[in-house]
Amino acid sequence: GILIKGGNYLEALANTSIAVFDKTGTLTKGVFAVSQVSPANGCTEKELLEQAALAESFSSHPISKSLREACGELDARRATDAQEIAGHGVRTMVDGHVVLAGNARMMDDSKITYTKNTGTGTVVYVARDGQFLGSVLIADEVKEHSKQAIAALKAQGVRTIMLTGDSEAVASEISGQLGLDEYHAGLLPGDKVDQIEKLLAEKQPKENLAFVGDGINDAPVLSRADVGIAMGALGSDAAIEAADVVLMDDDPAKIALAMRIARRTLRIVHQNIVFALGIKALCLLLGALGIAGMWAAIFADVGVMVIAVLNATRALYTKDLTKN
């Protein structure tokens, strides 16, 4: 279930000491559901959900899908001229009115007075023609194996970091739940690249940094990291194309397994190099002294090659690694 796009990435995995994760779809399931509807200024819950769902009707984002599912049947023809504003939300004409649906940054930039939602989850603020209509709280679930994955990486001495565009409250709760070493919240796609650049500058020369993501916004970060790891099932085509390693079943626990396989493979390679050169050097020395004959030379050539190949086949056995 692990696709590695070349031996050089296997070697890079073996030397990885920092693992950086995106949150949504990577550590969490990416399956959202509306958990709270908070209307304001005389707006009803039904109207708030309807306006939010229509504004997001052109988007394929999981959050947009959850709004449409919560609202039920919609006449998408009521929404036109949708404009997606990266890292903020969407601006859509609904029934001839300008409807904004997005995060707090969108409300601040549009100079809209709004009531802050302090609930744990992703908050979508909705405004129509400059008037605040309310907020919708959307919750995501942590993947079953995410905590196990983080624990396995930390047991190998890997530093774990989460980057997310979600609020500080959401990031703090997920980080505490999973036992991450650190997190950075409220990041735009460009901010994630900046964080990766900062971490790359801080690490030691022989250390590698791996980034794990699934969305189209993660593609630049996946390309910039020493090792880019993408989720194969939920991940976007852009993320899978940009990644060096693809987890076909989206199980984050496979990251620690891939690193264990990579490290053992590298140990076997080093064993073969030391063994082959050591035997050849010994036979050269004994030959120069007149002690070693033709049979020793044949063993140093063909015999060492056969033993090295047999030793290398140990890399095929991974059952003992999956138990860790």
Q: Which residues are catalytically annotated?
A: 22
CA–CA distance, 35 with 5 (Å, rounded to integer):
40
**Residue among 250, 226, 247, 253 nearest 153 (CA):** 253
| Strands across the sheet containing 97-102 | 33-39, 131-139, 122-128, 97-102, 89-94, 79-85
CA–CA distance, 169 with 151 (Å, rounded to integer):
22
Instruction: Give the C-alpha distances (Å, rounded to integers) separating 272 from 83, 168, 275.
Output: 58, 49, 5
Identity of the amino acid at 246: V
**Residue among 109, 115, 119, 133 nearest 55 (CA):** 133
Identity of the amino acid at 71: C
CA–CA distance, 55 with 69 (Å, rounded to integer):
14
Q: What angle do CA 297, 272, 317 make, to 5 degrees?
A: 130
Give me 27's structure tokens: 């550590």
Asked whether 2 and 227 are in contact (CB, 8 A), the reply is no
Instruction: Give the C-alpha distances (Å, rounded to integers) separating 90 from 53, 76, 87, 208.
Output: 11, 15, 10, 37
- How long is the chain? 324
Give me 166's structure tokens: 């979600």
* Residues facing residue 84 across a β-bridge: 90
Q: Which residue has the tokens 């987890």?
A: 247
Asked whether 79 and 67 are in contact (CB, 8 A), the reply is no
